[in-house]
Amino acid sequence: METETLIRVTTEGLLLCLSVSMPVVVVAALSGLGISFVQAITSMQDQSISYAVKLVAVVATVLIMGAWGCAAILRFANEIVTLAVPS
């Protein structure tokens, strides 16, 4: 495998990791921010509410985006195998 190909594949892998994980991170951050805002307004300081809402939001995001993420990772793995084992 040539150096340019290796650099391209590594860059694609890092961008794939970023794009697959970003929806979950964004949903967790936004739901945490929203719940913190609501807790600050209502003066409720129970931490279990924040964790429960974040858990539900992240699980829902993983269920919704999981098929797309798995398909993207599978396409990338097929490309890697094709490059590594030429026919």
Residue 63 has pLDDT above 80, yes or no: yes
Residue 1 has pLDDT above 90, yes or no: no
Residue 87 has pLDDT above 80, yes or no: no
Return mean pLDDT, the chain: 92
List all residues 6 or more positions away from 86 whose beta carbon is below 8 Å from its beta carbon: none
The two structure tokens encoding residue 39: 């807790």
pLDDT, position 58: 96
List all residues 6 or more positions away from 19 whose beta carbon is below 8 Å from its beta carbon: 72
pLDDT, position 27: 96
CA distances from 49 to 18, 24, 34, 70 (A): 28, 19, 12, 30
Question: Model confidence at 45, in pLDDT bands (50, 70, 90)?
Answer: confident
pLDDT, position 64: 96
